[in-house]
A and B are shown apart, each in its own frame.
Chain A
């Protein structure tokens, strides 16, 4: 295997066990996002964000970089599957996802003894809502009327953030850390 461009030999990508795990988690996240899009929502834009459970698990087990990969792959993958890639909705997703990843980058250093995945989920939900509202205010709806949406969007975000965090915490307990080792051997 050589990196030379003149050489016609095919380059082989080194795929690590972690790459497999990221791909697997991203696939689950995309499936959750697609499933969730079938749930009718009383208010446009309010979604449970079940895919964030997967992001949280990736963060807890594989670290922030893996969580970022899972999150970005999910946003791209879900918008390709559902249609509407590069649409305003996609931009909002990306803004929310980027904000919540930034907050998680700092929040992952919270002492685990006192702060579980519920804390990370709540912080991520607040950041997600803030990022989306900020982009919407700056670009899509350049009018202050958007502040009337803050209570509804943030309220729903907190409720779903709490539920998702509790689900993620429960899943983390049922998914022992040895599982990754077994998969690496397989």
Chain B
């Protein structure tokens, strides 16, 4: 029964089905691609501490209440390299490279957020 049902598809039907699936794959790839990030904003205690270009390679130590949080920027990506926070969540967030991604070191009141060409769809985020 199953094979009989598939036999009602003609040659053109199969070609068109393959083309449709290809179109779907291409559109999926295109539409789920996040816009790339260009800059990283570093916040300390709610205030903008620094804004760096992601293409510039540098390491920045941001002083906080517990000590220094080290932000590393390299090849269009950014990460928290070191942080005095006990659970190290922001360090475990790893490298960020898409606009809108963020890593937050709550105990040390420091966070980084990547921004892209487009305006953010929201005004601000509160933690």
Q: Which residues of A contact B (CB under 8 A)?
A: 110-111, 113-116, 118-119, 122-123, 126, 143, 145, 147-148, 150-151, 154-155, 158, 161-162, 165-166, 169-170, 173
Verify if B16 is at the interface (C-beta below 8 Å from A): yes
Q: A116: shortest Cβ distance to chain B, in Å?
A: 5
Are A114 and B12 CB-contacts (below 8 A) given A148-B32, A150-B31, A151-B31? yes
Asked if residues B20 and A122 are in contact (CB atoms below 8 Å), the reply is yes
- Pick 5 A–B contacts, CB within 8 A, sort by A: A114-B12, A151-B32, A155-B24, A155-B28, A158-B21
- Closest B residue to A145 by CB, please name it: B121
Chain A residues with Cβ below 8 Å from B10 are: 113-116, 118-119
Q: Which 3 A-B pairs have the closest CB atoms?
A: A114-B12, A115-B12, A151-B28
Q: Could you mark each residue 5-30 of chain B with 1 if its beta carbon is under 8 Å from any beta carbon of chain A, else 0?
A: 10011111100110011011001101
B8, B11, B23 — most chain A CB neighbours (10 Å)? B8
Q: Which residues of B contact A (CB under 8 A)?
A: 5, 8-13, 16-17, 20-21, 23-24, 27-28, 30-32, 121
Chain B residues with Cβ below 8 Å from A145 are: 121
Chain B residues with Cβ below 8 Å from A161 are: 20
Neighbour of B12 across the interface among A110, A147, A169, CB < 8 A: A110
Alpha-carbon separation in the docked complex, A173 to B13 (Å)? 16
Alpha-carbon separation in the docked complex, A114 to B13 (Å)? 7
Alpha-carbon separation in the docked complex, A148 to B5 (Å)? 33
Majority SS at the chain B contact face: helix
Alpha-carbon separation in the docked complex, A119 to B30 (Å)? 25
Asked if residues A166 and B32 are in contact (CB atoms below 8 Å), the reply is no
Chain B residues with Cβ below 8 Å from A154 are: 23-24, 27
- Closest A residue to B16 by CB, please name it: A119
Alpha-carbon separation in the docked complex, A162 to B18 (Å)? 11
- In the complex, given contacts A118-B10, A151-B32, A158-B24, what are 5 additional A-B residue pairs having Cβ atoms less than 8 angstroms apart? A162-B17, A166-B8, A166-B9, A170-B8, A173-B8
Chain B residues with Cβ below 8 Å from A114 are: 10-13
Asked if residues A115 and B13 are in contact (CB atoms below 8 Å), the reply is yes
Alpha-carbon separation in the docked complex, A90 to B123 (Å)? 34
